[in-house]
Structure 1
Amino acid sequence: MPDFLFNKKLYYNPVEFAMDRIGGTWKMPILWRLKDKVMRYGELKKDIPHITHKMLTSQLRELEKEGFITRKVYPVVPPKVEYTITKRGLSAIPIIDAIRNYGLTLMEEFGVG
């Protein structure tokens, strides 16, 4: 496949492109938690204890911008915000599941956990 540009960034293959969308430490865990239910910010933060507030906020914004999740704000005090996975986000779940299962297999093979 030839190189291609997207948002002024050069990509060399589709795997690199996909990993730029959902890769990293936190995006897949966020999508995984949203696959079965709508969650509020505080629920996500509590369920992913090692993520900082700044990182959770930035990752949620990126996932929303790229169409993997939606954010619904309710006009109440205190503010209520809910996050929902989209069709695009759901399409990533089988890939995340495969990577997760492969990780569990590797952990067993390396004697981790």
Structure 2
Amino acid sequence: MATTSPTEHLIDIDRTTGEYVQGWPRIKQSIYTILTTRLRTRLMRLWWGSNFIDMQDKPGNQEVLMTGMMAAIAAINTYEPEFKVTRVTIDDFDATGDITITIEGIDLVDAALKRVRQTIS
């Protein structure tokens, strides 16, 4: 059974303005939501989210950073159908719990390489 890439971007609602959002802005919003939603916290979707946010309460050692990057890659590739992660780097991990992460990947609709840098508090 062959899988095909979507031909149009999905449409969603912008979480700050309430307007329709599509394309790269929707994908960035989706990535942020995936990374900041703990597993088993959404009542109707207990399986949805990631373990990435759990690294905020842990020391910034190599093991925690690698586990966080793997959790981010797995969750984004599982729950964002229009984006395929190719690279993740954690740029900053400070004592306040703020994590700055850069995610690179391919927008599967536009077949273009995209990059998002996000600080998660």
Q: Work out which structure has the larger RCO, using CA pairs closer than 8 Å and 6 or more positions apart in sequence.
A: 1
Same fold (TM over 0.5): no
* TM-score, length basis structure 1: 0.26
TM-score (norm 2): 0.25
Q: Which protein is richer in helix relative to its size?
A: 1
| Greater share of residues in strand | 2
